Every structure is written in structure tokens, then in C-alpha cells.
Chain A
């Protein structure tokens, strides 16, 4: 799946691990179940570790372990399922996660703007999309009303000179 990060297509160094069996070499992303079952062994690996949360697996499950992960992937099983927008904001704003926050699953061009605002910084895009399309999606709405994880100045702030 093509991966957009920091406004460009990048090589994806990460591999998703299976539910069981030997782990591949290098950076791997494991499921919540696997993390919970094999915490010690996984934490003892030297290669970077990531975790993928499915819809219904809430960030509080891993809130105490965030320093173990260089990537957290949040799944959008369908673009209509918007739970991960809340998960992303919780990870960034409540639990202070600073690593890569990756959107995976049904990730469409017209959702990228909202995802970015909620704190995602990497996107496995399922639609054909160009970097121009990405930039357009980021820039086409020039003002925002709500504070969110992207720290953009809100209209309320702009009006009242904060």
C-alpha cells in the first residue's frame, strides 16, 4: 500500500506481523492481542516495534506502553467508521504519544484533511492519489473552527487575537 508521510510518498520500512509464528526481521507492527500476549519478548527485540489498533481497541489499552512503539497504526475498516479519529486525538492529546500515527484501511482522499487534524501523520492510501491530490486535500479548507491535535489556530482564536 502506498504510504504518504510528511507530505511525500515514502518507502514503507514496516511489516505487519501475523497473529502468531516467528516475527519477520526488522521493524514490525503487531496486533494488540499479540502485544498483550508477548509483551516481554516483543519489548526485548532490538528492531523498532509498532502496534495496530482495530476499531473497538481503545488507546487506553496501551496508554502505559506508548514508549515501546515507534508506530501506532489505527484501522479504518470502512471510511464511514470514524472511531479512529477519536483514538488519534486521545493518543496525541491525552496520552502524549509523539511517534508516527498511521491511518490504515479504507483511507480515502477526502478524509485526509480530517485525519491530519486529528493527529495522523502517515497514511496508507487505498485510493489512487497523487502528491498534488494530497496537497490539495490539506489546503482546500483554509480556516478551522475547532481546536484539534494539529494545533492549528482556530477561528475563535483568530477573531480574538490569541
Chain B
């Protein structure tokens, strides 16, 4: 993975010092909370319902075991012993004291981490595919380009006060695990005509109040032109994005208002002019320098399906179930991608205790070249596990509450923090997710239902990605009572779709029954083992709706 050089270190150290000064000015009362707000927001510090919250960037979701241990240390020393992995592949701490934040940032800097641009109206942490580098059919490791974009976007002088926050996602594989079409800018690596990596650039996707699917604005943009092209998009947005209305200020609204054609024309005009002004140069040597950090690790020569694996399957059905559900194919023979679910029944989606973080770090050292990935679906991944070691790995995971075999199943939900933590929320999300998981706890039943992605948001801002859930649940407040609106048929993959609302919302005590009703309809309509999403796309809303509201 990428390692800081003297320059990256210098920037982060400078920033820690700068922010420490700002915190000091706040603590002594030299500046007011109002004056402090924009400063803390530049550094991932939010004021939530009960306390300050610190959001730490995990660039493109990749962590070393050393970094993971530091995250555990911070959870233990400055928080209540746990952290929360987010849909942006970041980690949040919910209970740090403001006075401790400079020390936390120092600790983070010591392992090449920071909280830069995890909040505020700037370019946020770049997210990517959790299978980067190990997926069989990818063009190139998307983290190379994510890192280049990370550096280019860090403290960008022109784009630190955009109309609104701005999210990039990058994928290198045709199967989209990074949800690039629901980001402000989504980038897919493709092969250009010359056989080199080039970039398809989708603009104006997003969720929130007005969900939109991104439009393909730049096709097969070359490596040499990438940063200039991105800068052209950002400049068009910075100059023309609306600033008079909070809900209309994302780039998706600009693209929607002026149209895809006009957006492309403006970007290309700006791009052509920038090439004359002086493009953003990306030296070949710099690309190669960063590529070298993402070179494949020293894989051993191993065979697929080793005997010890098959023997373990026979002896331990629970292990076989975990492998079937949580382990994905690796591009190198004899290796596997192991997903670690952070969705145990009764838990909080994405939460990990300090002990669990340390255990994962230890397992990464033992079995996966000391590297861990965070997924936007709030799970963890050990991406390079020898198949022969899977059983040993699983035993350790299982003994530490990390072996839940539910990846992609109905209990593997995305759930935002909701009204339990967040001061934007209208309704609680965590207890709803927990109640649904409890209802579908039986693993045979989950397996029978198959792939079904439930995504739950506690307000219209859609941090829980409800628009792209196969079943989406949105918490709303009606005269002081929490209601839950249901949508069906959303998806965040390469065939991105936005869910359709079923009809009137459900109360807290009816929502679990509603989900169960939808699942029953699916099971009775399912043909040839198709997934929930495929059934929905085939038969549409009507049969679901009829059953769902039959009693009313």
C-alpha cells in the first residue's frame, strides 16, 4: 500500500499543528463556537447530539495492520472502546473530548493517517473497490488513481469552499462494488485505444434528498489529462453550482438543470482552455512511483482447493457456510478474499471494538500481508488469504464475534447512525436494523432468501443509502412519531437503479412485518433461483404492493 514520503508527512504534520492551534484558540475562548465551526469542519470534527464526533479518513478503504492497531488504541484511550466504520470507508469516533482531538490527530499522523477533508464543502475522502488489486478482471488497481486524486485534492486552493460536499469513487473492475454512479464524480478505469489505462468519468450522481444516477461526461480520458479534466469539472461546478439553497447545491442538481449535453460542453470548453493556461501535470514518473506501492505482494505458488480446505468443509459445516457466503474468488491461484462481517445479529452495523480491531490486525499480519480493507457496506476484508489458511482464520474470527456468515444476505445491512447519534436524523435506524436482523436471524432462512441488500437511513440525507437498497427504508418524522417509508428495487452496482416507494410509510411496530411481507412475496414469485432484485425487476411493484397493503 501507499507509504508517505517526506512531503506527505510534512503536510499532515503542518495540518495537525494548525488545527491544534485552532482548538487552543477555541478552548481559551479566543474564538467562539460559530467561528470555530468552519475550522473544525475542515478537520472532520462534528458537533453531534451528545458530543463531538471525529471522522478519520481511511483513503480508499485500505489500512495497514499498524494503522488498525492505532485505531484500536484511539478507541480505547479517547473513546468508549469502539469505533464505527462508515459507508465512506472511514471510521468515526462518537465520544472524543475536544481537548483530546489534537492528541488523536498526532497519533494518527504517526501512522500516516489524518482527518483532513472528512467534512466540509470540499473534496472528501476518495473511496474505491474493496477488492482492488485482487479482482480477476480489473483494468488496473484503482487505488493508484485514488491516491493520485487524494493528493491532488488535498488542501486544493480553488476547491476547498465548494457549493457543497463532493465525493469521488473509483473502480477498476466492470463489476462496481464502489457505487460510482451515485457519487458526485464516479470514475471507472477502462482500456484506452492505445491499450493504456484511461478513465470513464461519471458526473452528477448522488443520493440524499434528490437521488440521481451519474452521467457519463468524459469518455476514455487519458492519464495525462486526468487531473486537468477533473479540475475542469470542479471549476464548472465551483462557478455555476447553486449556492443559494442548501438542497440544490450538489453537482447533480447542476447537471440535471443544464442537462448532460450542456454539462459536457462546458467541461470540454473549460478543459480546452485549461490546457492552454497550463494543465495540471502528472509526471509519468509520479504515476510509476505510486504504482510501485500497489504492486502485488509476494504471493506463494499455491493450488486452488487445497486438501486441507476440503477436509475442513466436511468436518465443520459452519466453516463451509462462512466460506460459501463470505469468501470471494481471488485472481491468484490458491488465494481467497475473506470478508469479515461487522453485522452480527444484535450488533450495530459497522461497529468494531478495540479488541476486534486488534484481532483483525493480528490476523492480517498472520494471513493477509498485513493489509485490511474497509467496505462501503460497512464490513472489513482480508484480501489475500491463502485458501489453506482459511480454516484457521475463520476459527479466530468466529471466536471473536467476527465470523458472521451473512455477506450480502438480509442481515448484512447498511444502517446510518440515525437518531441515536446524529443531529440531522428524523428517526432511529439502528434499532430498526436490529429488529429486522433478529426476525431473520435463522441462517437457513437467510440463505434461502439469498442476496438481499437492505439499506436504512434515519433521514432524507440518505447516509444509509436507502435509495439503492434492494429494500430501502427511510425514517421520517410525522408529528413527532417515527415512520418508515419503504422502497424496492434500488441497486448501487454497475446496473445502478433507484428504488421505487411502495406507498404509505409504516410505524416502528409494523416495519419488520412489512419487510417480512415483501420477502414472502418474493419467495412465492421467485423463478429459477433468481435474486430478489431480479424478481422485482421482472414483475415490478404491483404484486409486492398488493400484498403489502392488503390488510389496509
Binding site for B on A (CB under 8 A): 55, 58, 79-83, 85-87, 89, 93-94, 108, 110-111, 113-115, 117-118, 140-148, 155-156, 158-160, 162
Contact = CB atoms under 8 A, between A and B. Distances in A.
Given A145-B151, A155-B151, A160-B285, A140 B18 contact: yes
Nearest to B15: A141
Contacts of B480: none
Interface in B123-161: 151-152, 154-161
B460 to A, nearest CB: 22
A156 B21 CA distance: 28
A148 B160 CA distance: 13
B238 A148 contact: no
Nearest to B162: A82
Nearest to A154: B281
Given A85-B238, A145-B155, A94 B277 contact: yes
Given A81-B243, A86-B239, A158-B7, A148 B286 contact: no
29 contacts: A55-B243, A79-B161, A82-B121, A82-B159, A82-B238, A83-B243, A85-B238, A86-B158, A94-B273, A94-B276, A113-B157, A118-B158, A140-B17, A141-B11, A141-B155, A142-B10, A143-B14, A145-B154, A146-B152, A147-B278, A147-B280, A148-B158, A155-B7, A155-B8, A156-B281, A156-B286, A159-B283, A160-B283, A162-B283
Contacts of A117: 157
Contact of B157 (A85, A93, A108, A160): A85
> Which residue of B7, B22, B152, B278 has the most chain A CB atoms within 10 A of its CB atom?
B7
A77 to B, nearest CB: 9
A148 B15 contact: no
A114 B157 contact: yes
B38 interface: yes
Listed from nearest, the 7 A-B pairs whose CB atoms lie closest are: A82-B161, A117-B157, A155-B7, A114-B157, A93-B277, A85-B158, A160-B285
B264 interface: no
Contacts of A94: 273, 276-277
B238 A159 contact: no
Nearest to A95: B277
A111 B161 contact: yes
Interface in B235-282: 235, 238-239, 243, 273, 276-278, 280-282
A57 to B, nearest CB: 11
B155 A79 contact: no
A146 B235 contact: no
Contacts of B193: none
Given A155-B7, A156-B282, A86 B161 contact: no
B289 interface: yes
A141 B15 CA distance: 7
Interface string B318-340: 00000000000000000000000
A83 B14 CA distance: 26
B17 A114 contact: no
A86 B7 CA distance: 26
A147 B281 contact: yes
Contacts of A146: 152, 156-158, 280
B435 interface: no
B152 A83 contact: no
Contacts of A83: 238-239, 243
B161 A85 contact: yes
A21 to B, nearest CB: 30
Contacts of B277: 93-94
B5 interface: yes
A117 B161 CA distance: 14
Contacts of B235: 86
B39 interface: yes
Contacts of B162: 82
A140 B10 CA distance: 11
Given A141-B155, A145-B151, 4 more contacts: A80-B38, A117-B157, A146-B156, A155-B11
A93 B278 CA distance: 8
Nearest to B243: A81
B126 to A, nearest CB: 13
A114 to B, nearest CB: 4
Nearest to A148: B157
A115 B155 CA distance: 12
A160 B161 contact: no
Nearest to A136: B21
Nearest to B280: A147
Contact of A140 (B5, B14, B39, B158): B14
Nearest to B238: A86
Nearest to A155: B7
A86 B157 CA distance: 9
A150 to B, nearest CB: 8
A79 B8 CA distance: 27
A146 B279 CA distance: 11
A104 to B, nearest CB: 15
B223 to A, nearest CB: 14
Contacts of B155: 114, 141, 144-145
Interface in B340-364: none
A159 to B, nearest CB: 6
Among A58, A86, A114: residue with most chain B CB under 10 A = A86
B18 A141 contact: yes
Nearest to B14: A141
B280 A80 contact: no
Contacts of B157: 85, 113-115, 117-118, 144, 146, 148
A108 B154 CA distance: 20
Interface string B12-37: 00110110011000000000000000
